[in-house]
Amino acid sequence: MTADPRPRIAVLISGRGTNLQSIIDAVAAGRLAATIAVVVSNRGDAAGLDRARAAGIDTLVLNPREYADRDTYDRAIAHELTVRGVRLVCLAGFMRLVGRPLLDAFPNRVLNIHPSLLPSFRGLDAQRQALEHGARVSGATVHLVTSDLDDGPIVAQAAVPVLDDDTVETLAARILVEEHRIYPEAIARLLERRWSLQGRRVVFDAFT
């Protein structure tokens, strides 16, 4: 048997895992040439774990309380991903700040999806922030993760309108549709194309 030549990715979750599902679906449909080597959760009750199991993907629950401190925890994650030959780490609703040990193990290879057009509305409740601010447009951003919250170089974005009768829920649902579209696309692009960082800009090589 020949080894699967597709690049190996990991998805880190904390909750319901709809973005994880969009990645699973993209792999199954052949839109994303990758293998999901493992799904890691910091919570044993994350519903996304069931999505992974249903797709036959290896899962791992790492409870931060069982580690001495943040760095030790991040080192443990980095170790689990490294031994599985992971090339790209995709945060998908992973509700923890990622620290240096993990970022250093995967330099410019940790991605996140955020439900706003960054750099607007960083942090928690981005959809509520956009609504309460009175923004007319919001959206979703896929970005490289740095040690600053929701601040890394932008890989992909999609905009949606904010409507007069929106609630946080209706706006979040409209943004989520775009999240599910652009996250697998962005992962595929990063894996398939050659790219580099020019300052904060992610620049794809035109000939790849």
- Select which of 79, 114, 133, 180 is catalytic: 114
Please report the DSSP string for 3-31 in residue order: PP-SPEEEEEESS--HHHHHHHHHHHTTS
- Distance of closest approach, residue 205 Cβ to ligand GRF, in angstroms: 28
- Distance of closest approach, residue 17 Cβ to ligand GRF, in angstroms: 5
Number of residues that bind ligand GRF (CB under 6 A): 13
Give the nearer residue to ligand GRF in terms of CB position, either 59 or 75: 59
* C-alpha span between 13 and 91 (Å, rounded): 6
Q: Which amino acid is at 2?
A: T
Longest CA span, the chain: 57
59 is a contact residue toward ligand GRF (CB under 6 A): no
Name the one residue in this structure whose structure tokens are 């699973």: 24
Measuring CA to CA, which residue among 153, 150, 156, 149 is closest to residue 198?
Answer: 153
Report the interhelical angle of 126-133 vs 168-192 (nearest 10°).
120
Binding mask 90-129 for ligand GRF (x = CB under 6 A): --xx-------------------xxx--------------
Give the nearer residue to ligand GRF in terms of CB position, either 168 or 188: 168
Is 114 among the residues known to form the active site?
Answer: yes
Which sequence positions are flagged as catalytic? 114
Q: Using CB under 6 A, list all residues that contact ligand GRF.
A: 13, 15-19, 48, 92-93, 113-115, 179
